[in-house]
Structure 1
Amino acid sequence: MTAPDSPTGGPPPRDLPPTSIWAVPGMLALAVVSFAGFAGYAALLPVAPLWAVHGGADSAGAGLVNFVLLGATVATQFAVPALIRRVGWTLTLTLALVLLGVPAVLHVLTDELGTILLLSAVRGVGFGILTVAASAAAVLLVDPARRGAAVGAYSLALAAPNVLLMPVGGWIAEAWGFWIVFVLSGVSLLGIPATVLLARHLPERATGDPQHPEVADAPAGAATYLAVLSPTLVLLAITLAGGALITFAPQMVSVAWLATAGLFVFGLVSTVLRWRVGALADRLGSGRLAWVFVLVAVAGLLAVAWLTQQEVGLDGLLPWLLGCALLGAAYGGLQTLTMVSAFEAAGPRRVGAASAVWNAGFDAGTGLGAVLVGTVAVQHGFGTGMAISAGLVLLTLPLALRARR
């Protein structure tokens, strides 16, 4: 309903923003789509490589499973804005959930490595579509003044299944059976009805703001990609470090449950920070906060590197958890801050392009972290690998400081 003109003849008063970001039309539907899609992704991420080993693959073959998944994800992401322009939001999001859910369930048919790699590639395409489309939808649902809060809410919906399901997937598979995880990963399909509800509140075939005075959703050029390069480099560095911890934590400690405890703290703290820092960015500006989290990340990585050199045992429990918590805080905070910065830099006409670049940076950083730290660790140990990660994160400090302006 349109507000009437004011008695003085001035412009009509602006509607006050809703008290909660969840009251924004379409936000709850986005949360359902994101939670369902990421639940299917997170449950299978640690289990698919184990399934390949169950079928006789060696460690190199098992490592290919998630490499293929993330490779297909990155290869897909830059095509998503064009896909939305062609078929619309409902079909795009539905396709993402189908490509995530159906191949997950099909794992039950065989543990042969070639088939698992094929299914991983298909799931990677679905995941690439979901990540770009869902993050773009988050900022298109709200006024730019609430962009940070929307990104935070979206981040909570996708991070929660990572915290709840990723640490226990392997345990469920080995204790109760792989088939349970495969069926559980099919939960992505349950989010399909919510795609219809979400699409009602989005531009029909665009990932740009249709209310912007210029042409909405014009194809992105080199200037757009250069504009979002700075926050993406900060993101790539922190996800490289986080990806290394997620991949190698079990090999950094002498007691197995310490890895689980550390990753749980890492995931919990990162989830809370991804959620809460968004509204703070709306009030203070995303650029004013990023440099703080860069320094927090360096502190956490150096703590983990120092502890890992000494092979963490029970006597190092509290320092280990503190190091994981510091890295988790930076990992979560910088994800939200760099996403908000990327959307701000790209502008309202380039939401889809900014989403594609940011998500590609996230997945590329995660994959590079495992490769880089793993390669260094072969000759010099994980402590050296994590120290190098700290140095790479520190190199992004000038970019984060420049963003304060």
Structure 2
Amino acid sequence: MTTSPHVRTPAAELPSARPPLVTRPLLLRFVTVVGASASLFLLLSVVPLYATASGGDAGLATGALMLATVCGELATPRLVARFGYRWALAAGLVLLGAPALFVTAWGGMGWIVAVCCLRGLGFALTVVAGGALTASLIPAERRGEGLALAGVVSGVPSLIALPLGVWLADRYGFLPVSVAGGLLALAAVSVVPGIPGREPCPAKESAAGAEGRIGGGLRDGGLVRPAAVFTVTALGAGILVTFLPLAVPAAASGVVAAALFVQPAAATAARWFAGRLGDRRGPGRLVLPGLLLSAAGLLLTAATGSTAAVLCGVAVFGVGFGVAQNATLSLMYARVSAAGYGTVSALWNVGYDAGMGAGAVGFGALAALTGYPAAFALTAAAMLLPLRLARRP
């Protein structure tokens, strides 16, 4: 018996429409992303400049910020489990913004370090609690695309705020910039109550067990493998930001400025592409290409005397780094329940910050022995060590 062409297919058999990605709660969350990112990057180079102008150590200011950030990221999952995403996010924005208002109140290095430590803890809360909150607001079948969009939203303010802060400080002084940086984070607190979020539930947290704790995450190979690969790619990011201005001949300062724009721009675009592709074919398939492109880009950059090689190298690295960012984070979220989102966010962000810091410190020691071109080439080769992990993340 044949079926009439006019018979309708039951609604249950029709392919379901993709759930909406950009919702009001996600837009409110993006307001907090922009506030935190703009506040951090507006002062990221300005505070070290202020420390130097006050007779202090610029490196100590940045080091205190990054150390406090990593420590805060390790502690945040427990705070989230106890108090909830929204409380942690709001507290992070306050800690990021309020101390910035008073960074120029005293000029001593002790005061500057204290402000940087408080802001580092605040930023840790915003990225870990906020990252987990973002993941909870994105449909699972569109997670890669949603995380890519979140990356774009946080990346654009950083591209603008970093050079803008230095320009404003040079033109108007340190105080207006510090006040602006503080107010950007504090203003974002107002939207947090409108964001739906998972509130703490002791019974559920107890049942979640190790999945909701950072120690349990470190014992989970399904989380550690992609996190380790991403940490290695982050080494290259820390190296480029710190040493490219020193490695490229002084006469080519314009090349450095262009390169430091091309790399994050390429990473942002690649992160978006990887998110869409990962939703269709699985993020695990993109981890290896991300690692290989990152290493290849750093190898090309070894030709520091060639403008074309430097620009091409940072572009290739940016693409690989953006792919690795999205693929590893999407894969890690896919391997846990909602109770583990905070742990995933913490592990991934610790890998990011620790990788950048270790890359800068280690590369400096290596370059002192070999010179910059050889150090770039050797680091690119060393980035291939987790090749086995990247093949089966």
Structure 1 gaps, min length 5: 1-6
Report whether the alignment pairs 1:401 with 2:391. Answer: yes
Matches within 5 A, 1:232-247: 232-247=227-242
Q: CA separation in 1, counterparts of 2:209 and 2:139?
A: 16
- 1:44: how far off? 1.1
Report whether the alignment pairs 1:131 with 2:127. Answer: yes
> 1:35-90 CA deviation, whole Å, 9 max, x = no partner?
11011111111121111111112xxx211211111111111112222222332333
- Give the conservation status (yes or no) of the 8 Å contact 1:218–1:350: yes
- 1:382: how far off? 2.1
Q: CA separation in 1, counterparts of 2:214 and 2:263?
A: 37
- Give the conservation status (yes or no) of the 8 Å contact 2:85–2:130: no
| Residue identity in the other structure for 2:43 | L
Going from structure 1 to structure 2, the CA distance change for 1:8 and 1:318 (only over 3 Å counts) comes to closer
Say which of 284, 287, 310 aligns to 1:290.
Answer: 287
Q: Secondary structure at the match of 2:98?
A: helix
Q: CA separation in 2, counterparts of 1:103 and 1:384?
A: 42
Matches within 5 A, 1:110-121: 110-121=106-117
- 1:263: how far off? 0.3
Q: TM-score, normalised by structure 1?
A: 0.87
Matches within 5 A, 1:87-98: 87-98=83-94
> 1:352-392 CA deviation, whole Å, 9 max, x = no partner?
11111111111100111111111222232222332232123
- Give 2:308's aligned residue: 318
Going from structure 1 to structure 2, the CA distance change for 1:204 and 1:370 (only over 3 Å counts) comes to same
> 1:315-351 CA deviation, whole Å, 9 max, x = no partner?
x323221111111111222111111122123344311
| Residue identity in the other structure for 1:377 | A
Q: What fraction of aligned residue pairs are identical, expressed as a percent? A: 31
Say which of 128, 136, 141 aligns to 1:140.
Answer: 136
- Give 1:174's aligned residue: 170
- Give the conservation status (yes or no) of the 8 Å contact 1:46–1:170: yes
Q: CA separation in 2, counterparts of 1:368 and 1:239?
A: 9
Say which of 345, 350, 361 aligns to 1:371.
Answer: 361
Going from structure 1 to structure 2, the CA distance change for 1:78 and 1:15 (only over 3 Å counts) comes to farther
- Give the conservation status (yes or no) of the 8 Å contact 1:153–1:275: yes
- 1:25: how far off? 4.2
Worse-superposed segment, 118-127 or 369-378: 369-378
Q: CA separation in 2, counterparts of 1:220 and 1:53?
A: 39
Going from structure 1 to structure 2, the CA distance change for 1:207 and 1:364 (only over 3 Å counts) comes to farther
Q: CA separation in 2, counterparts of 1:351 and 1:156?
A: 20
| Residue identity in the other structure for 2:66 | L
Q: Secondary structure at the match of 2:383?
A: helix
- Give 1:3's aligned residue: none
Going from structure 1 to structure 2, the CA distance change for 1:88 and 1:383 (only over 3 Å counts) comes to same
- 1:178: how far off? 2.1
Going from structure 1 to structure 2, the CA distance change for 1:207 and 1:289 (only over 3 Å counts) comes to farther
Report whether the alignment pairs 1:189 with 2:186. Answer: yes
> Aligned-residue CA RMSD in angstroms?
2.7
Report whether the alignment pairs 1:362 with 2:357. Answer: no
- Give the conservation status (yes or no) of the 8 Å contact 2:74–2:214: no
Q: TM-score, normalised by structure 2?
A: 0.89
> 1:13-44 CA deviation, whole Å, 9 max, x = no partner?
8963345x21x341111111111101111111
- Give 1:260's aligned residue: 257
Q: CA separation in 1, counterparts of 2:201 and 2:62?
A: 31
Q: CA separation in 2, counterparts of 1:125 and 1:138?
A: 19
Q: CA separation in 2, counterparts of 1:145 and 1:274?
A: 17
- Give 1:17's aligned residue: 18
Q: CA separation in 1, counterparts of 2:246 and 2:356?
A: 18
Q: CA separation in 2, counterparts of 1:115 and 1:389?
A: 37
Say which of 339, 343, 351 aligns to 1:353.
Answer: 343
- Give the conservation status (yes or no) of the 8 Å contact 1:73–1:124: yes
Q: CA separation in 2, counterparts of 1:304 and 1:68?
A: 29
- Give 2:37's aligned residue: 38
- Give 2:148's aligned residue: 152
Report whether the alignment pairs 1:224 with 2:206. Answer: no
- Give 1:329's aligned residue: 319
Matches within 5 A, 1:77-88: 77-88=73-84
| Residue identity in the other structure for 1:53 | T
- Matched positions, count: 380
- Give 1:4's aligned residue: none
Q: CA separation in 2, counterparts of 1:44 and 1:108?
A: 12
| Residue identity in the other structure for 2:63 | F
Worse-superposed segment, 361-370 or 184-193: 184-193
Say which of 103, 107, 110 aligns to 2:103.
Answer: 107
Q: CA separation in 2, counterparts of 1:29 and 1:217?
A: 30
